[in-house]
Amino acid sequence: MPRAKSDKDRKIFVLDTSVILYAHNSIMNFAEHDVVIPITVLEELDQFKKGNDTKNFEAREFIRLLDNLSKDNMIHNWTPLNGKTKGFFRVLMNPENNMNANEIFGEEKNDHKILNAALHLKQTESGRKVILVSKDINLRLKAKSLDIFAEDYETGKIKNINELENTGKFIIENVDLDVINQLYESHHVDGKLIFGRKKVKSNGYFILKNEKNSVLTYFNAEDNTMERVDKQLAYNVKPKNAEQTFALHAILNPRVKLVSIQGVAGTGKTLLALAGALEQRRDFKQVFLARPIVPLSNKDIGFLPGDIKSKLNPYMEPLWDNLKFIQNQYKESDKEYQKIVELVNQEKLVIQPLAYIRGRSLSNIFFIVDEAQNLTPHEVKTIISRAGENTKIIFTGDVFQIDTPYLDSQSNGLSYLIDRVKDHPLYAHIKLEKGERSELANLANELL
């Protein structure tokens, strides 16, 4: 189908492979503007189409989408996307240019071929704005050095970075002493005594204060009551501060099915989640504790020596450390110590890479996802969408400590979850602010 040449207001977006591996339907999210896929991107996707990881799924789905959109058209011609409100797309073969990125940067590589595609469009589509879209910061910088507009893929990124500072904890000063006394005496009060008719966030945690006393509380939106929150033990692990107390309350609260816990290293995120899971082990068929594998130096784990178990052990070791810490609260002869051994041996408690959990049915499961900031929004959505009856999911992580190259604090799955699910009655969020690992660890977090 021929492409109308008169509409100069339509921009041309050139997509990098990293964008498609982040979201296979990204091609559909550029409003009325046109999209170009360099042939190099299709060649790279061919390398990713086999496998069970999310990037493999995204590659396969994009190839199917492109095949469906092109139908009987030749993909090197402008082809309509979908509907009158969308633009057109085409696949651009390796073009000849006056400027050659391979020569400019002194190396022939796929990134430079993608830059050459953008340079070609800039020369041949005069009057139209050409923009390279990439999750790769270095590629965007190279594009700008060649006078090519470049930007990150914005769809799915949270707009308000301040939302990530939401602690899930609120402090209310000058609360009537009678209200605080009533909370201590009867455990709960009518929410109207504190908030009046003001709408309050579901599952919010509050510290109520006056000059003499304070009390930790939780707002139960279903009953419109403010309930006292007490420090409680979970498999002999006791919270050490108000935020940990709130987090453990959310983990143990049967009304809350989805919890996110944000905090820097050493704040106790994973430890509390695992302790809470062990405390509730009788309520669930299995406890899954999983984390995404972020290979060293972004290399595939295949370069590591040994069998698959040996390759994965370094990534799972932090999870085993938390389990051993809880276990060592008891003597080896104690039944609680032996119960953990039994749970592991009978696979009632399973610690695995997230890729090994993906695809399994999540009914009657207590599921902890550690290091969730290294997941994409699509991965987080996929995990939650698989939850069946009597399943609870805890996501832990630090949104400012990203280990994967194409995610940042605004585009990772944990940030996406915190931003999108806030105020839902099934969800609670807590930010742990104080490191409790050791004074030495706190020194590192605060001063280094």
- Residue 176 pLDDT greater than 80, yes or no: yes
What b/e readout covers 369-400, taking b as 16+ CB neighbours within 10 angstroms? bbbbbbbbbbbbbbbbebbeeebbbbbbbbbe
Q: How far is CA 400 from the centre of its chain?
A: 11
Other C-beta atoms lying within 10 Å of the C-beta of residue 279? 19
* 166-170, 372-376, 428-432, 443-447: least confidently modelled range: 443-447
Across 208-222, 303-317, 434-448, the highest mean pLDDT is recorded for 208-222
Q: What is the pLDDT of residue 2?
A: 46
* Average pLDDT estimate for 128-132: 95
Which pLDDT tens digit goes with each residue over 353-387?
787 776 777 899 999 999 999 999 988 998 999 89
Give CA–CA dist 215/117, Å, rounded: 62
pLDDT exceeds cutoff 60 at 447: yes
Distance CA 108, CA 101 (A): 8
β-bridge pairing 225-228 and 214-220: antiparallel
pLDDT over threshold 90, residue 297: no
Average pLDDT across the chain, whole number = 87
Convert the pLDDT of each residue in 65-113 to its tens digit: 999 998 888 999 999 997 667 899 999 998 888 888 989 998 999 999 9
| Gap between the Cα atoms of 14 and 44, Å rounded | 15
- Bridge-partner residues for 217, per DSSP? 206, 228
**Which ranges in 328-429 belong to alpha helices (H)?**
335-345, 354-357, 377-385, 413-421
Burial of residue 198, with CB atoms counted within 10 A of its CB: 0-12 exposed, 13-18 middle, 19 or more buried: exposed
When mean pLDDT is compared across 20-34, 297-311, 403-417, the lowest value belongs to 297-311
Q: 59, 61, 42: which is closest to 113 by C-alpha?
A: 42
What local confidence, expressed as pLDDT, does residue 98 receive?
Answer: 80
Q: In percent, how much of the chain has pLDDT > 90?
A: 54
Residues 6+ apart with CB under 8 A from 341: 327
- Per-residue confidence (pLDDT) for residue 360, from 0 to 100: 75
